[in-house]
Amino acid sequence: MDSGIKIGRIFGIDIFLHWSLLIIVALITASLGMIAFPNWHPDWPAWLAWSTGAIAAVLLVASILFHEMSHALVGRRWGMHVPRITLFLFGGMAHLESDAPEWRAEFWMAIAGPLASLVLGFALLTAGNIAAGPVEAQALDDPQAYLASLSPLATVLLWLGTINIILALFNMVPGFPLDGGRVLRAIVWGVTGDIRKATHAASMLGQLFGWYLIANGVLMVLGVSVPLFGTGLVGGLWLIFIGWFINRLAVTGYQQLLTQRALTGIPVSRLMQTGTQSAGPTLTLDRLVDEILLPRGQRAVPIEEDNRLRGLVSLEDIRRIDRNEWANTPASTVMTPRDQLRTLAPEADLEEALRLLGSSGFNQAPVVYQDQLLGMLRREDLLHWLALHDKD
């Protein structure tokens, strides 16, 4: 979900579209153009049903952006940094750099999205009613004829308004990762003062809701008609997929919090390996392998000169060079140079280290103080620490 193309910047927040969004736009266009609109408007030619469907689908994406934007802007008012919003298969996601500082921030930020969708939904319904014009008495007796009489504009507005209200209600289901789950978490956090207990409760309800959707989806696939969702193979599979996704996020959201809490405040210096053997920039690769990497079991060798860190040579760097060339290749030609290395300060905490290792793709990071190498922090040591410290 981190990939996607940037389509613009609003209020200083980068807006990204993930390719999976194309699937949902195509699905909605197809279901409106082939099923819903031809049902409501038997007299519409196919091109009109399809093009109105496509416009409605794109406007739905815009409403999701509106929803996410309200999360982001309210979050910013509470001092949270929201660098980007990604729109993807299941809607949108406002990316936070950190968790909410207090329960009130979490509460207002979480509830802002559904409130925005609700307000937008009612505004669209009102506009749709105005566009539809006055309803004549006989239209009430024959809703089918009334629907057929609506213009494309009124049709889109009324559909979009309804969908936005449904979106708001769905998002208020009180299970993490849905907005309602975050609202619930904020309230439990406010009442008990214990964010872990609050996240646990919201996560359990989120998992339960995920299983509920999966169960409904399975029944639909088996041809049973379930309340709210109806029946149908495609709808059933879709529901199973959404339920599974919500369930996964509910589980990982809680684990992430445990991880964060196990790592926050523990300095890197406590976990770093200090006995790491380094080498000079002129040492050739064959000696680097034979004298350091193999006998010491190191996965990387820091390159130092005049007691200053110059770079890092990893096993992967060496594998890129033909074995016959190892004896003529100095370490400096294959190393990742200092200015491209992601390094850690000894007083940085393990949470920051985990984020750095995650985003850099390296398995270890040099711990550096004023250009001097103090030690190496390895991913495996972090994972060991977690295995020991994030019980329950």
* Of the residues 38, 53, 75, 113, which one makes contact with Zn ion according to CB under 5 A: 113
**Considering beta carbons, is residue 113 or 236 the nearer one to Zn ion?**
113
By CB under 5 A, how many residues form the interface with Zn ion? Answer: 2
Stretch that binds Zn ion, among 5-13, 34-42, 75-83, 108-116 (CB under 5 A): 108-116
Q: What are phi and psi of 341, to 5 degrees?
A: -80, 145
Q: What is the largest CA-CA distance in the chain?
A: 93
Residues 6+ apart with CB under 8 A from 194: 188
Name the residue whose CB lies closest to Zn ion. 113
In whole angstroms, the minimum distance from the beta carbon of 239 to Zn ion comes to 19
**In angstroms, rounded to a whole number, what is the distance separating the alpha carbons of residues 273 and 353?**
14
In whole angstroms, the minimum distance from the beta carbon of 337 to Zn ion comes to 43
In whole angstroms, the minimum distance from the beta carbon of 56 to Zn ion comes to 21
Strand partners, 314: 300
**In angstroms, rounded to a whole number, what is the distance separating the alpha carbons of residues 179 and 360?**
30
**Considering beta carbons, is residue 187 or 262 the nearer one to Zn ion?**
187
**Considering beta carbons, is residue 64 or 271 the nearer one to Zn ion?**
64
**In angstroms, rounded to a whole number, what is the distance separating the alpha carbons of residues 299 and 294?**
9
**In angstroms, rounded to a whole number, what is the distance separating the alpha carbons of residues 165 and 121?**
5
Stretch that binds Zn ion, among 40-48, 107-115, 182-190, 326-334 (CB under 5 A): 107-115
Please give the sequence-ordered ranges of beta strands (E in DSSP) within 290-382, or none if there are none: 300-305, 308-314, 336-337, 364-369, 372-378
Task: Kindly state whether residue 106 participates in binding Zn ion, applying the rule CB under 5 A.
Answer: no
Closest CA to 92 of 13, 32, 153: 13
**Considering beta carbons, is residue 63 or 343 the nearer one to Zn ion?**
63
157-216 residues near Zn ion, rule: CB under 5 A: 179
In whole angstroms, the minimum distance from the beta carbon of 114 to Zn ion comes to 6
Point out which residues bind Zn ion (CB under 5 A).
Answer: 113, 179
